[in-house]
Amino acid sequence: MASKVTTKSQGDEAEERALQHLLKQGLTLVERNYRVARGPSARGAEVDLIMKDADKEGTLVFVEVRFRHNTQYGGAAATVSRTKQQRCILGARHYLMTQRTLPPCRFDVVAIDGDQLSWLRGAFDAY
């Protein structure tokens, strides 16, 4: 029996691909799929990957992974809307409340368009 390709399985595969790319770049995984519930009528937040950069400051990197088969309707990076950014920021703020000291942070996007992977460092800010 062949396994069914679902949007979830494609997203999981893209996330794994992004993770492997970032690990090869020297980052280390801190947390995967960090979720925050906001209640029954409000959407929560999720950070796909929380990584620690290899820089001397120990920057915490909150990563949004986006995947598109092709760029016919715009690339993967273009799908990181302001609303999506706000959900990632909410997740990051919640995660940071669990830390004893606040490390430097940034928000990155790994955009995967078909076979092309792009790592956008500092893609957006928490303002």
Q: Which CATH architecture has domain 7-74+82-124?
A: 3-Layer(aba) Sandwich (3.40)
> Residue 3's pLDDT is what?
63
Q: Residue 1: its pLDDT value, please? A: 54
- Whole-angstrom Cα Rg for the chain: 15
Q: pLDDT of the chain along its 127 residues, tens only?
A: 556 777 777 778 889 999 999 999 999 999 999 999 877 766 788 999 999 999 889 999 999 999 988 777 778 999 999 999 999 999 999 999 999 999 999 999 999 998 999 999 999 998 7
The pair phi, psi for residue 104, each rounded to 5°, is -60, 145
Note the pLDDT of residue 120: 96
The SS3 call for residue 41 is coil
Both structure tokens of 97? 């409340």
Question: What residue segments make up the domains of the chain, in order of their start?
Answer: 7-74+82-124
Residues β-bridged to residue 64: 109
